[in-house]
Amino acid sequence: MLRLRFVLLIAITILLGCVSNQKDNTATFTIATLKGPSSMGMIKLIDSLVNIEDKNFDIKVFNEPIQVRKMILDGTADFAILPTTMAALIYNKGLDYKVIAIPVWGTLYLFGSDSTITDWEQLRGKRVHVMAKGMTPDVLFRRLLEKNNLNPETDLILDYSFPTHIDLANAIAAKQASLGVISEPMVSLAMQKNKDIRPIFDLNHEWNRSLNMPIAQTALLVKGSIIKCNPLVVEQLLVGYQKSSEWVNLNPDSAANLIVKYNILPNFEVAFNAIPRSNLNFVRANAVQFQIEEYLRVFFEMNPDIVGGKIPDESFYF
């Protein structure tokens, strides 16, 4: 009897906490996402909400992950889409957000104008441009070099002259650099400017081949209190986002038009070409926990600070 009363007391306390501090299921929940593959995959969901007055979700699209992170720090993002490494960092800093899905599975390519390269050994002695040292492209490319028997420090030159994706894409398009590691949609943008450049290695395919796992690049997060108090809303978003992602892959023409309409990418050609190279595949986190952990371990082994000093524990996942 005492145990039953104790359990009931806890349940009542949780319920009162939800009633006093949380939105009900008819309120509007804020989703913070990024321009690029994250918002490309949810573009059908974005479009479906435009003409609904009493909508459940308000989707805010930002240019940089740091803007999404600020909303998380402020507590104003109910849901957020961020690089998985940043999601781990946020969790390890004690913020109450959990990963509920992986919507993007690797968008990185080695591309450029050097048509002589057909295998990894041919990178020996080459200069490859990579954006900021220690960021995702740098870490993953270094690991792939090692897996293909190349020493990143001595067997080729890694050049960090162009610190952002935009800078690097423009440099390759302008023939200021012949090889670079860069992400979609910047690959498609650069290729539109210069028809002589092309993807040389699909690093997502190479990662799967070398490490026998996919690149769990981007994470969908939810505030912990939303899981507790609004589980139906969480499920509603999971279903809606997954359906949107599937629709984009099946209808690239229509999806590309929407991507341009909502100012995610500048034109139809870039959007249409970027879709198949963006690896949009919405998978719930509890189905791929091992893959997420192994992906984060790559960064942890290079620099533990990237993921907040440790691999997140079980409570990171929902």
Confidence of residue 24 (pLDDT cuts 50, 70, 90): low
Confidence of residue 14 (pLDDT cuts 50, 70, 90): very low
> Does residue 143 sit in helix, strand or coil?
helix
Q: What is the DSSP letter of 85?
A: H
- Please state whether 149 falls in left (phi above 0), alpha (psi between -120 and 50) or beta: left
Q: Which residues contact 16 (CB under 8 A, 6 or more apart)?
A: none
Nearest to 58 by CA among 92, 89, 22, 31: 31
| 81 touches 38 (CB < 8 A) | yes
Length of the chain, please? 318
Cα 46 from Cα 142, distance rounded (Å): 36
Q: Which residues contact 171 (CB under 8 A, 6 or more apart)?
A: 129, 161, 162, 177, 180
Cα 121 from Cα 148, distance rounded (Å): 8
Predicted TM-score (pTM) of this structure: 0.91
Q: Per-residue pLDDT tens for 131-189?
A: 988 899 999 999 999 999 999 999 999 999 999 999 999 999 999 999 999 999 999 99
Looking at the chain, the whole-number percentage of residues with pLDDT higher than 70 is 91
Cα 293 from Cα 291, distance rounded (Å): 5
Q: Where are the domains of the chain?
A: 13-106+215-316, 108-211
Nearest to 107 by CA among 164, 184, 202, 212: 184
| 233 touches 101 (CB < 8 A) | no
CA–chain centroid gap for 169, Å, is 19
Q: For domain 108-211, say whether CATH 3.40.50.720 is its number.
A: no
Q: What is the pLDDT of residue 132?
A: 86
> Per-residue pLDDT for 6 more than 70?
no
Residue range 97-123: mean pLDDT, rounded = 96
Q: Does 13-106+215-316 match 108-211 in CATH topology?
A: yes
Cα 136 from Cα 115, distance rounded (Å): 25
Q: What is the pLDDT of residue 9?
A: 34
Q: Per-residue pLDDT tens for 111-125?
A: 999 888 999 999 999
The chain-wide mean pLDDT, for the chain, equals 92
Q: Per-residue pLDDT tens for 41-72?
A: 999 999 999 877 667 899 999 999 999 999 99
Query: What are 219's two structure tokens?
Result: 């994470």
Confidence of residue 77 (pLDDT cuts 50, 70, 90): very high
Q: What is the pLDDT of residue 18?
A: 74
Q: Which residues contact 247 (CB under 8 A, 6 or more apart)?
A: 44, 255
Q: Per-residue pLDDT tens for 231-266?
A: 999 999 999 999 999 999 999 999 999 999 999 999
Nearest to 100 by CA among 115, 82, 76, 118: 82
> Residues of 100-110 as b/e, b for ≥16 C-beta within 10 angstroms?
bbbbbbbbbbb
One of 3.40.50.150, 3.50.50.60, 3.40.190.10, 3.20.20.120 is the CATH number of 13-106+215-316, namely 3.40.190.10
